[in-house]
Amino acid sequence: MAIARFPSLVIDCPDASALATFYGALLDWKVTTSPGWAEVRADYGQCICFQEVDDYTPPQWPGQVVPQQLHLDVNVDDLDVGEAAVLELGATKHQHQPGTSFRVFLDPAGHPFCLCLD
> What CATH number does the domain located at 8-54 have?
3.30.720.120
Q: Which residues contact 12 (CB under 8 A, 6 or more apart)?
A: 51, 52, 53, 56
**Alpha carbons 96 and 92: distance in angstroms, whole number:** 12
**Alpha carbons 13 and 76: distance in angstroms, whole number:** 25
Q: pLDDT of 9-66, one tens digit each?
A: 899 999 999 999 999 999 999 999 999 999 999 999 899 999 999 999 999 989 889 9
Q: pLDDT of 91-107, one tens digit each?
A: 999 999 999 999 999 99
> What CATH number does the domain located at 61-118 have?
3.10.180.10
User: pTM of the full predicted structure?
Assistant: 0.84
Q: Where do the domains of the chain lie?
A: 8-54, 61-118
The strand order across the sheet containing 92-93 reads 72-76, 112-117, 102-106, 92-93
